Structure 1
Amino acid sequence: MAEHHLLTTCKTVHLGGFSPSLTPVLHIQSGDRVHVETYTGFYVCDQAPPEFAPPELLNIVQNLPESQRVSVGPHLLTGPIWIDGAEPGDVLEVHVEAIAPRLPVGFNPCGSIPRRSAA
């Protein structure tokens, strides 16, 4: 079993949601252990004091390429991760061993989702 560390960078994250068109940023074998870094609140950097966000998050907010912007959604996601031998339709068993906050604060934005007009 190999151990991998997937850091949060402009090359390893994407914004807005999942897409099958994204190129995997890490290839692993079944049973490997992966430590994944991620941040939430991509757009919170526009509203928070500068000291709120660490330099690596600010770098992502300022430099994330358009090709990594899947949708307008606020979620910054790390990955995708390719598992050698896995195929569409397979069930994956994932064990989450630990979760640790990356930022020393929490937030809960609120708002409304624009309604689509009935055509």
Structure 2
Amino acid sequence: MRHLILAVCAAIVVPIAAHAATYELKATPHTVAWGHYDATDKPVLTVKSGDTVVIHTLLTNSPTGLEKAGVDPVLIEPALRAVYEGVPASSRGPGGHILTGPIAIEGAEPGDTLEVRIKKVDLAIPYAYNAFRYGAGFLTDDFPYARVKIVPLDAKRMIGRFAPGIEVPLAPFFGSMGVAPPPSFGRYDSAPPTVNGGNMDDKAL
């Protein structure tokens, strides 16, 4: 859904590289971790301190779900279709977030502090969505049904058209970002945040 441009630094561990490189990491069936953080997942990219990575990310809805909600099929990213078709069920979960990575930083060790600078966030598609379902969230008993709302986005004006006459200013941020959890956690659910970061949904970070 978004293109994320990061500058990564292994704080204190290694000096900033004299000739930093820029990489692009696309979301494919071979470069995503679906629904989990896991210390045993192998890195799909290794960079040095000071390098920049342009990361392509995907939303958490399915192509079928988006089409059912009213999205024109031509506006659904081919990468999202490829990931849904190419990642086996055994590699998914227990959460639902499609996370691009993991990325290793050369010289970093478990327990080190990492500094990651988000330089820019670009919108990759002209829509977003809001959704809720029964059994999840705080008001589930008040709304015992499911609903998905597609929100058209205007990237030039940086607004979302929530409803006729209602425009919402956009300030994109990443809800889920983290490092590998302790090995004892196993395949940790991407939904609840924990000591490694994860689904924090805090735009102030």
TM > 0.5 fold call: yes
Return closer, same or farther for 1:46/1:72 CA change in 2, 3 Å cut-off: farther
- Tell me which residue corresponds to 2:77: 54
* Structure of greater relative contact order (alpha carbons < 8 Å, 6+ residues apart): 1
Where structure 2 has 5 or more consecutive residues not aligned to the other structure, the ranges are 1-19, 68-72, 137-205
TM-score by length of 1: 0.84
Separation of aligned partners in 2, 1:45 and 1:72:
20
- Tell me which residue corresponds to 2:132: 110
Match of 1:33 among 40, 52, 56: 52
- Tell me which residue corresponds to 1:95: 117
Match of 1:82 among 104, 113, 118: 104
Where structure 1 has 5 or more consecutive residues not aligned to the other structure, the ranges are 114-119
Separation of aligned partners in 2, 1:72 and 1:46:
20
Return closer, same or farther for 1:67/1:22 CA change in 2, 3 Å cut-off: farther
Identity of aligned residues (%): 35
- Tell me which residue corresponds to 1:9: 28
Deviation at 1:44, TM superposition (A): 3.2
Q: Answer 1 or 2: which has greater helix percent.
A: 1
Separation of aligned partners in 1, 2:38 and 2:62:
23
Deviation at 1:66, TM superposition (A): 4.2
Q: CA RMSD in A?
A: 1.7
TM-score by length of 2: 0.51
Separation of aligned partners in 1, 2:62 and 2:49:
36
Separation of aligned partners in 2, 1:105 and 1:48:
10
User: Does structure 2 conserve the Cα–Cα contact (< 8 Å) formed by 1:13 and 1:68?
Assistant: no
The one-letter amino acid of 2:84's match is V
Larger Rg computed on CA atoms: 2
Deviation at 1:53, TM superposition (A): 1.4
User: Does structure 1 conserve the Cα–Cα contact (< 8 Å) formed by 2:62 and 2:84?
Assistant: no
Separation of aligned partners in 2, 1:72 and 1:10:
17
Q: Answer 1 or 2: which has greater strand percent.
A: 2
